[in-house]
Amino acid sequence: MALSIFLFFLTVSPGGAQPVPVTVMPSVTTVPEAALPSPGFNAEKATEAYLAQIPASARGRSDAYFEGGYWLILWDYLAAAVIYFAMLRFGWSAWIRDRTQGVSRNLSLQTFLYWIGFLIITTVLGFPLAVYEGFTRERQYGLATQTFGPWMGDQFKALLVNAVLGGVLTVILFAIVRKLPRTWWIWGSAATFLFVMFVALIGPVYLQPIFNDIKRLDNPKVTGPILRLARANGIPSREVYEIDASRQTNRMSANVSGFAGTSRITLNDNLLRRGSPEEIQAVMGHEMGHYVLHHVYKDLLFMLIVILTSFGLLRWSLAWSLKRWGVKWRIYGVGDPAILPLVLLIGSVFMFILTPIVNTETRTKEFEADMYGLNASRLPDGFAQAAIHLGEYRKMKPGPLEEWIFFDHPSGYNRIYAAMRWKAENLDLFAPPK
């Protein structure tokens, strides 16, 4: 097994190979003629003028990449389902449990050791798809900047983080099940929700630096306008931070993170390097919109509903499944760690079905942040520039049903159109001084 995995590493992609150059979207520094303010300004024509700046090859490439992602949603689900079912059907899960029971009598330690064994097996079985999806495909489309060695380093770090955090949650949940056999699904929901909140809180400070360097940005030409925009919108940040995302990707991003009275403004170095000043300001206006509109709290509320619903379904579906297959799979009850593949199998079905709902919830908040950002920054052309750059890996003009199912952000076309519609309603802001 070890030899076959090593050979697979060698054959997937040479470690020293350079990524295929991406057909990047143009750096829009000038406004197309149809998007210039004029008495006859038309939002639709202005939007089409921006889209016309994108080379057909670049647009075709981004469409192909994004549409391929539709299939990956299905393949990810099917691959996970097959792995979880195999662990039950062939007794691998029960085998791991039996081995851990021989190590210690402490139930919490047994559960943690089971989690480690489970994580190793599922990681190995899912590795080929993970390499294709996270490394090979990203390089084929010119979106990744890492060679195989550094990429594997990040995957190993993620595995260690998952081992610790996932192990802690698994131990907590199985302890609840054993202690409260009738109401475990209620208390399990509460514990999961609190754990998610905890991870979200520590993520920017303690988890993100494991993968990237984050440093204070000292360029006043960049930080000055951003901090003025933040102060004007009630965001109590005094510093702007830069993250070296370019070591992994050439995607542009930023965020304003904060919880319970804290805030932190972070831009990735790709946005600083590739974005125009107007684009940076527009993007930061959008990110500040998430903060001011309390989207983190709305996310938590939505997450709580999803968690409660999933645990309620688990309570019924686990009882039904154990009656039919529990003896065959050598699972001795809901408190048996060997049941974990069944829990995740049922959970994966539920989340797969929820895909359009989760995407719509996220897309709605992204649109709200777009509107807030436009009103805060008053830079609709900067928004158009950002939408075009994001179009390097997002389909620009999908159909309505396609956008509803697969898009967790508004499409590039709709974002540019929203910006141009805002511009049409505020032409007086762009009139030359008399």
Q: What is the pLDDT of residue 203?
A: 84
Residue type, 402: E
Across the range 110-117, mean pLDDT stands at 98
**pLDDT tens-digit map of 194-238:** 999 999 888 888 899 999 999 999 999 999 999 999 999 998 888
Across the range 70-92, mean pLDDT stands at 97
Mean pLDDT rounded to a whole number for the chain: 90
d(CA 73, CA 69): 6
Q: What angle do CA 97, 198, 111 make, to 5 degrees?
A: 10
Q: What is the pLDDT of residue 432?
A: 63
* Residue 71 pLDDT greater than 70, yes or no: yes
**pLDDT tens-digit map of 405-420:** 999 999 999 999 999 9
Question: Cα 211 vs. chain centroid, distance in angstroms?
Answer: 15
Q: What is the pLDDT of residue 27?
A: 52
**pLDDT tens-digit map of 316-366:** 999 999 999 999 999 999 999 999 999 999 999 999 999 999 999 999 999
Q: What is the pLDDT of residue 10?
A: 32
Across the range 117-142, mean pLDDT stands at 97
**pLDDT tens-digit map of 292-309:** 999 988 999 999 999 999
Across the range 58-87, mean pLDDT stands at 97
* Residue 426 pLDDT greater than 80, yes or no: yes
DSSP state of 266: E
Q: Is the separation of the CB atoms in 57 and 82 below 8 Å? A: no
* Residue 78 pLDDT greater than 90, yes or no: yes
d(CA 366, CA 354): 18
- Cα 286 to Cα 205, 215, 295, distances in angstroms: 22, 22, 12
Residue type, 307: I
Q: What is the pLDDT of residue 259?
A: 60
Query: What is the DSSP annotation of 210-261?
Result: HHS-EEE---HHHHHHHHHHHHHTT-----EEEE-GGGTB----EEEE-STT
**Tokens encoding 251:** 């995607």
* Residue 124 pLDDT greater than 80, yes or no: yes
In sequence order, the β-bridge partners of residue 266 are: 241, 255
Q: How confident is the model at residue 270 (pLDDT cuts 50, 70, 90)?
A: very high
Q: What is the pLDDT of residue 2?
A: 34
**Tokens encoding 21:** 């150059």
Q: What is the pLDDT of residue 19?
A: 41
* Residue 14 pLDDT greater than 80, yes or no: no
Q: Where are the domains of the chain?
A: 60-195+312-352
Q: How confident is the model at residue 261 (pLDDT cuts 50, 70, 90)?
A: low
Q: What is the pLDDT of residue 248?
A: 96
Across the range 156-174, mean pLDDT stands at 97
Angle between helices 380-390 and 355-377 (to 10 degrees): 150
Q: What is the pLDDT of residue 62?
A: 95
Q: Output the pTM of the full model.
A: 0.89
In sequence order, the β-bridge partners of residue 268 are: 243
Closest CA to 152 of 167, 137, 130: 130
d(CA 200, CA 189): 17
